[in-house]
Amino acid sequence: MVDQILSEFLLSKEDLEEVMRRIRREMERGLRVETHDEASVKMLPTYVRSTPEGSEVGDFLALDLGGTNFRVMLVKVGEDEERGWKVETKHHMYSIPEDAMTGTAEMLFDYIASCISDFLDKHNLKHKKLPLGFTFSFPVRHEDLDKGILLNWTKGFKASGAEGNNVVGLLRDAIKRRGDFEMDVVAMVNDTVATMISCYYEDRSCEVGMIVGTGCNACYMEEMRKVELVEGEEGRMCVNTEWGAFGDNGELEDFRLEYDRVIDETSLNPGHQLYEKLIGGKYMGELVRLVLLKLVNENLLFNGDASDLLKTRGAFETRFVSQIESDTGDRKQIYNILSSLGILPSELDCDIVRLVCESVSTRAAHMCGAGLAGVINLMRERRCQEELKITVGVDGSVYKLHPQ
């Protein structure tokens, strides 16, 4: 019976090829002017036209806002005889309070400016006007490298007054309001783009960036002639796919399970980011919790008895999934996590919980792989090649912390 319930998470090779075909179709629609508006995969031009040459040496400040944590980083790029250049970084993490995430845009950006100020104090940099690069991991319609309009918040952000506005402008205004330091905001990119660029410093064949963290997204280098939203035919431009919204036009209906529907209905953005909700770390723990409850209700787990904590939305954290799958076989990790949720499990319970975690995370990995295959096949065909040697730069908490 347990196997029967978990078998719904299994995707066949044919299923995955179908997902790949559908996401590919939506990507093509997102690139074309006449279908862009209704395409679920928006394929946003980033105005990043070429990969770095390595002449970019000096001190830079980098900001990274993409989830519940916000990172400020000092990046020193110097020349190096062997590898061409060397990169040194110092960074500090700040967690974003709930009221800044869901209050007003002014509150959020004032908080960000105060974090920058704190970082500059710590590193004695207040007197310097540094070039600043801003990694902003939300759907943005770029008008230039340093000008981008926020289309919509995702990942639990809801700050009012930001959607429809130029994000770099909001940051510049907040810095001006403080008045205790100056910054030259030179570029805003998506986290997928930042990942691709930083990987390119290590490996020149990196032309795809992917994030599997709180959310899930990818970017790649597209032929300019195919980027219809931007004038010009020559060379390539990096496109931010925003593939997390794949499925928003119903393309994933035959793959979504009852648990996925509950996740969506109880989220801040019902009906949106449906592909991301199958993969992202924001949802993975909750998916596992819903499956565990189903097994309890069917009398297949914990003697049919769920603790109050297990019945609480959000109580089963995504990090538990990684920890449970990292268990060495003595079930100690699993036992400790379940105990913390008010459950005293048997050995069989522990094994079933592990199976549930593996089912949910494996489906997420396969779904993500199908999307990536769609991107790479598109690139290969554009370049009229039988085989394409390409490197994918990957980052994100789920990718880094998950044992598989």
Same domain, 32 and 64: no
Pairing of strands 69-80, 140-144: unpaired
The domain tally of the chain equals 2
Predicted confidence band of residue 230 (pLDDT cuts 50, 70, 90):
very high
Q: Classify residue 343: in a domain, yes or no.
A: yes
Same-domain status, 92 and 179 = yes
21 in any annotated domain: yes
Grouping H, G, I as helix, E, B as strand and the rest as coil, residue 78 is: strand
Range of the domain at 307: 1-46+204-404
Q: Pick from 166, 189, 212: which residue ends a domain?
A: 189
Residues labelled catalytic: 155, 191
H/E element, 88:
strand 84-95
Q: Is residue 247 part of a domain?
A: yes
Q: What angle do CA 211, 215, 217 make, to 5 degrees?
A: 45
Q: Residue 85: what pLDDT?
A: 63
**How confident is residue 401, by pLDDT bands cut at 50, 70 and 90?**
confident
What's the rounded Cα separation, in Å, for the pair 269 and 277? Answer: 11
Final residue belonging to a domain, choices 134, 164, 189: 189
Give the neighbor-by-neighbor strand order of the sheet with 391-395: 44-45, 236-240, 216-223, 206-212, 391-395
Does residue 328 sit in the same domain as residue 401?
A: yes
Where is the domain boundary, 146, 163, 189?
189
Average pLDDT score, the chain? 92
User: Do 181 and 208 have their domain in common?
Assistant: no
> Residue 31: inside a domain, yes or no?
yes
- Exposure of 114 by Cβ count < 10 A (0-12 exposed, 13-18 middle, 19+ buried)? middle
Nearest to 313 by CA among 342, 341, 289: 289
Residue 212 confidence (pLDDT) above 80:
yes
Q: What local confidence, expressed as pLDDT, does residue 9 receive? A: 98
Question: Which tens digits make up the pLDDT trace of 49-99?
Answer: 875 565 567 888 999 998 778 999 998 877 766 656 677 788 999 999 989
- Please state, in angstroms and rounded to a whole number, the distance separating the CA atoms of residues 380 and 366: 21
Asked, for residue 194, whether it belongs to a domain, the answer is: no
| Digit-coded pLDDT (tens) for 231-272 | 988 889 999 999 999 999 999 999 999 999 999 999 989 999
Residues 145-165 pLDDT 10s: 899 999 999 888 889 999 999
* Same domain membership, residue 62 and residue 42: no
pLDDT at 51: 57
Q: Hey, what are 62's tokens? A: 């980098």
Give me the CATH number covering residue 125.
3.30.420.40
> Is residue 151 in a domain?
yes
pLDDT digits (tens, 9 = 90+) for 303-358: 999 999 999 999 999 999 999 999 999 999 999 999 999 999 999 999 999 999 99
pLDDT tens sequence across 93-145: 999 998 999 999 999 999 999 999 999 999 998 888 889 999 998 989 999 88
Lowest mean pLDDT among 23-32, 86-95, 389-398: 86-95
State which amino acid sits at residue 374.
Answer: G
Q: Considering the domain boundaries, does residue 195 fall inside one?
A: no
Instruction: Dig out the tokens for 333 from the structure.
Output: 């990790």
Do the domain assignments include residue 197? no
**What pLDDT is attached to residue 242?**
96
Domain identity same for 41 and 65: no
Say if residue 127 is in the same domain as residue 37.
Answer: no
Percent of the chain's residues with pLDDT above 70: 97
Same domain for 321 and 397: yes
Are 332 and 352 found together in one domain? Answer: yes
In this prediction, residues 196-222 reach a mean pLDDT of 92
- CATH number at 380 reads 3.40.367.20
Same-domain status, 356 and 212: yes
Query: How far is the C-alpha of 47 from the C-alpha of 197, rounded, in Å?
Result: 13
